[in-house]
Amino acid sequence: MNAKFFTPVIATMALFFGATAMASVGHGKDDIGQPGTAAEVTRTVEVKMGDIFFASKNINVKPGETVRFVLRNEGSLLHEFNIGNAAAHAAHQKEMAAMFQNGTLTPIGSGQAMSNMGHSMGEMKMVGMEHNDPNSVLIEPGATKELIWTFAKSTGLEFACNVPGHYQSGMVGQFEVK
């Protein structure tokens, strides 16, 4: 195999497989709570988002409470609502950056997943990446989606958009768990 071709191929495979492996790590979801069901919902909280902000910067929740979040993206860019602590958001930002780099996501929505691109390297097909963490949802421009979550006793919880550059631009808010 040509050495000029081999090195970039290995680096690309490491990026995709490494990011996919990171995506399967739980990021401590047991510490922050777990997905809830519609039957458990005690209240609904509407969260509006735009380019680059959340309308609410603080949301009060109780340990054990199950909340339905109605998420409205009134902006022109793709946004995310992700529940976690600062360390989990930092790890997820790396995953999101990889998804943008490989075309799985675009600034306005889902791109063409790597698994559907038909690229292969010898006998090994490139593995696609997915945005499928239960504590997170992507909301396309003009769309409304829901997330139901049962909170643990954790402190230091944030809701954030981890689309590259959005968290750093202030698209983050705090959960007050009490």
Share of the chain above pLDDT 90, in %: 65
pLDDT at 122 over 80: no
Query: Shortest CA distance to 115 belongs to which of 100, 126, 102?
Result: 126
Distances (CA, A) of 29 to 15, 113, 166: 24, 26, 22
pLDDT tens column, 18-29: 433 333 334 445
pLDDT tens column, 71-91: 999 999 999 999 999 999 999
Predicted confidence at residue 143, as pLDDT, reads 97
pLDDT at 160 over 70: yes
At a CB cut-off of 8 Å and minimum separation 6, what does 176 contact? Answer: 58, 59, 60, 61
Model pTM greater than 0.85? no
Q: Show the domains of the chain with their CATH numbers.
A: 3-177 (2.60.40.420)
pLDDT at 148 over 90: yes
Per-residue three-class SS string for the chain: CCHHHHHHHHHHHHHHHHHHHHHHCCCCHHHHEEECCHHHCCEEEEEEEECCEECCCEEEECCCCEEEEEEEECCCCCEEEEEECHHHHHHHHHHHHHHHHCCCEECCEECCCHHHCCCEECCEECCCCCCCCCCEEEECCCCEEEEEEEECCCCCCEEECCCCCCCCCCCEEEEEEC
pLDDT tens column, 33-64: 999 999 999 999 999 999 999 998 999 999 99
27 forms bridges with which residues in the sheet? none
66 confidence band (pLDDT: 50, 70, 90)? very high
79 forms bridges with which residues in the sheet? 139
pLDDT at 113 over 70: no
46 forms bridges with which residues in the sheet? 70
Check residues 33 and 7 and name the one with the higher pLDDT. 33
